[in-house]
Amino acid sequence: MYVIRLPDGTLRVPHGVLLDGGDGGRVIADAYVEIGPADPDYDRLLGQSLTEQELEARRRSWREGDADLQATFESWKRDQDS
Calpha distance 3→45 (Å, rounded): 7
pLDDT of residue 4: 97
Strand arrangement, sheet containing 11-22: 25-35, 11-22, 4-5, 50-51
Question: What average pLDDT does the chain have?
Answer: 90
**Of 10, 7, 16, residue with least CA distance to 54:** 7
Q: Which amino acid is at 63?
A: R
The overall pTM is greater than 0.75: no
**Of 55, 75, 66, 57, residue with least CA distance to 5:** 55
Q: How confident is the model at residue 62 (pLDDT cuts 50, 70, 90)?
A: confident
pLDDT tens per residue across span 10-43: 999 999 988 887 777 888 888 999 999 999 999 9
